[in-house]
Structure formats: structure tokens, C-alpha cells
């Protein structure tokens, strides 16, 4: 993907410096001169930002500015290009002037590469800790270790952060021009908003023993009953809600093939032209039936990134 746009949460400027995670003396010294990102797990992992316009600036503080003891050990994120180490802690957000709490979903796509990388990494790591308080092997309570990059139980059983691989695919008909079409679905689990209906790319978790490409074939067939071919990998990004790695694909299908949705997964599915997608992105109402208008995926998602790739003819 060199020279091409990256998915919004796949950007970073940080050196993770993994070899430092097991060096207690270095970590203790680094903490004293660190920049610290405060996340509040009680507020869905929000952090403080400055600025309403793009790009909002992620607020980092010094260790001496923290109002209380963190809920967990400081998590070492890495070293910035200027040599300053960065940690993240779980605390109530401090009251600082001209700042506001923000969620990664809300601001991730607007941030600089540096801030997007810090926020995404910290939230992914925090969410992993919140869900692994006990060993899946022994059932015993675990504690954070290795600067937040592992957890260990009293008997020495250790676990490291894991992400769940999931595929997400923009299915298209291969046609050029304004009348080329893509197939989007409205997930049955999404909350209903009167007057709106959100459509997005088809997605699902990669199952044990399965390749990502095989998951694309299976999920599209299961969710909408349409066979696909010419599967092309585009890129990936973390989706730390709570801990997925989204593997993005484009794939071609016959737009005349019958759509048979699995109602447990997909409430509605239909083909949209480039003209319709462009209109929706421009803020124009695109009717989708029942008095609803089309709403596209949020800008921090890789789904909208894939839509733009197709819209621009990169397929």
C-alpha cells in the first residue's frame, strides 16, 4: 500500500520498542520523562482532545499531572520520533481547559497519523486488559505484566494480547462508470433510527482453520446468498471495539444473482450505483424504501474506506 491512502485507523508514527517491555529499570526511568495518554474505561475508553476542527489534537500529560493512581499499571505504548516514551493509563479524565472527551470512533479519521496510532493502540490494549482478568487455562486471577503487554496468574501462566481477525468486503459488479454497482447490507442487530437506514459492507469473523479469503466466500454466501469471485485484498486496520483486526477486501459478483438474506444477520441488502453512493456522500437524500434514506458507514471504519476505493475505480 506504499504511496496509497491507508485505512483511517491503520496509521502510526510510533516505534513500539518491544524490547523495552521486559526492562523494569528502563521503564521506571522512562516513566519519569514520559508523555501519558489518559483513557477512561468507565467512559468507553474516551480520551481528551483539543480543537473542534480537523484535526483534533490528542491531549497527553506528564506523570506528575495525573490526579490519582491509575486503575491498572501504566501501559507502555512505545517511543516517539523525538525519543520521548509514551504510556497510557486508565483513569477518570482530568478537567483541563479547552479540552473535551472524545471517542475513537468519533475522531480517529480526523486525527494526524501520530494521534490516530496512539489512540488506537492504547484503546486496543486497554480493552484487552478489561476482558482478561482471569486465565482461560487455570481460571486464576491475572495481573498485568511486561509494561501492560501480557498478563500472568500466580502460577506463572502468561497470556499476551490477541486480536480477532475479521473479513470485511465491498462486493461490486465490476462495471465502470456512474452505473457500476456495489452490494451493501443493513445488519439486523443495528438499532433503528427513524428516517434512516445504514448500509455497509458485508463482514464476519474468520473461523478456526479458515483463510481470510475463504471467510469472504462463506460470509457473503451465508449473509446474502451471492457467490463472489476475483477477491482482492486491500488493507487492514485495528477495530478495538473490543479487539478485532479488520481485513478489507473487494470482490466481484453478478448483480443479477438473486439476493437471499439470512434474516438473523441481515435485515436488508441491495445494490447501489456509484451515482447513488456519491449522492449520499455529498449529503443528498437517497431513498431506500419505507420512507428511509441511505446512511453510509462511519468515517473511522474501514468499510467507508473500501466504499471510497470502489467509488474511485480502484477495483
Pick 12 or 72 by higher pLDDT. 12
Beta bridge partners of 273: 181
Identify the pLDDT of residue 3.
62
DSSP string, 206-240: PPTT--HHHHHHHHHHHHH---EEEEEEEEEEEET
**Grid coordinates belonging to 211:** 483463510
d(CA 304, CA 235): 13
Task: Indicate whether 2 pLDDT > 60.
Answer: no
Q: Is the peptide bond between 161 and the residue preceding it cis, with omega within 30 degrees of 0?
A: no
Interval 89-113 mean pLDDT:
95
Average pLDDT, the chain: 95
Which pLDDT band, with edges at 50, 70 and 90, does 287 fall under?
Answer: very high
| pLDDT bucket at 289, cuts 50 / 70 / 90 | very high
Give the pLDDT confidence of 151-181 residue by residue, as tens digits.
Answer: 999 999 999 999 999 999 999 999 999 999 9
Q: Which of 310, 287, 286, 290 is nearest to 183 (CA)?
A: 310
d(CA 183, CA 18): 41
DSSP 3-state of 168: strand
**Tens of pLDDT, residues 196-229:** 999 999 999 999 999 999 999 999 999 999 999 9
Q: What is the pLDDT of residues 232-244, one digit of tens each?
A: 999 999 999 999 9
CB atoms near residue 125 (< 10 Å): 21
Q: What percent of the chain has pLDDT over 70?
A: 98
pLDDT tens, residue by residue, 81-96:
999 999 999 999 999 9
Residue 1: the pLDDT is 43
Q: Which one is predicted more confidently, 192 or 48?
A: 48
Residue 119 makes CB contacts below 8 A (sequence gap 6+) with: 37, 47, 58, 104, 107, 108, 111
Please report the DSSP string for 67-103 in residue order: -S--SSPPEEEEE-TTS-EEEEEE-PPP--TT-EEE-
What is the dihedral sign for C-alpha 241, 242, 248, 253? negative
56-70, 95-109, 188-202, 206-220: segment of lowest average pLDDT: 56-70
Region of residue 67 (phi > 0: left; psi between -120 and 50: alpha; otherwise: beta): alpha
What's the pLDDT score for residue 196? 96
Predicted confidence (pLDDT) at residue 75 exceeds the cutoff of 90: yes
- With cut-offs at 50, 70 and 90, classify the pLDDT of residue 106: very high
Check if the beta carbon of residue 277 is closer than 8 Å to that of residue 288. Answer: no
Q: State percent of the chain over pLDDT 90.
A: 92
**Is residue 236 classed exposed, middle or buried when 0-12, 13-18 and 19+ CB atoms within 10 A define those classes?**
buried
Q: 115: part of which helix (H) or strand (E)?
A: helix 113-130
Amino acid at each position: 500500500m506504499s504511496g496509497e491512502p491507508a485505512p483511517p485507523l491503520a496509521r502510526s508514527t510510533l516505534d513500539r520498542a518491544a524490547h523495552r517491555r521486559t526492562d523494569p529499570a528502563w521503564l521506571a526511568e522512562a516513566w519519569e520523562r514520559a508523555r501519558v495518554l489518559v483513557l477512561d474505561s468507565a467512559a468507553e475508553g474516551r480520551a481528551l482532545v483539543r480543537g473542534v476542527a480537523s484535526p483534533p489534537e490528542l491531549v497527553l500529560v506528564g506523570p506528575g499531572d495525573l490526579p490519582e493512581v491509575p486503575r491498572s499499571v501504566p501501559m507502555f505504548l512505545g517511543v516517539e520520533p523525538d525519543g520521548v516514551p509514551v504510556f497510557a493509563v486508565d483513569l477518570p479524565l482530568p478537567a483541563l481547559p479547552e479540552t473535551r472527551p472524545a471517542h475513537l470512533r468519533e475522531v480517529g479519521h480526523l486525527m494526524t497519523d501520530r494521534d490516530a496510532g496512539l489512540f488506537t493502540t492504547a484503546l486496543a490494549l486497554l480493552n484487552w486488559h478489561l476482558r482478561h482478568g482471569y486465565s482461560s487455562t487455570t481460571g486464576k486471577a491475572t495481573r498485568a505484566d511486561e509494561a501492560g503487554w501480557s498478563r500472568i496468574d500466580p502460577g506463572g501462566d502468561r497470556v499476551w494480547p490477541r486480536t480477532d481477525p475479521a473479513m470485511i468486503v465491498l462486493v461490486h459488479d465490476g462495471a465502470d462508470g456512474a452505473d457500476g454497482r456495489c452490494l451493501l447490507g443493513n445488519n439486523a442487530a443495528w438499532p433503528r433510527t427513524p428516517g434512516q437506514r445504514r448500509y455497509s459492507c458485508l463482514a464476519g469473523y474468520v473461523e478456526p482453520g479458515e483463510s481470510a479469503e475463504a471467510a469472504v466466500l462463506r460470509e457473503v454466501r451465508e449473509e446474502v446468498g451471492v457467490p463472489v469471485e476475483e477477491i482482492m485484498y486491500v488493507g487492514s486496520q485495528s477495530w478495538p471495539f473490543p479487539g478485532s483486526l479488520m481485513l478489507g477486501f473487494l470482490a466481484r459478483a453478478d448483480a443479477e444473482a438473486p439476493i437471499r438474506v439470512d434474516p438473523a444477520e441481515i435485515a436488508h441488502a441491495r445494490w447501489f450505483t456509484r451515482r447513488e453512493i456519491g449522492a449520499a456522500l455529498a449529503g443528498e437524500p437517497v431513498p431506500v424504501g419505507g420512507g428511509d434514506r441511505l446512511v453510509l458507514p462511519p468515517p473511522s471504519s474501514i468499510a467507508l474506506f473500501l466504499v471510497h476505493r470502489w467509488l474511485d475505480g480502484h477495483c
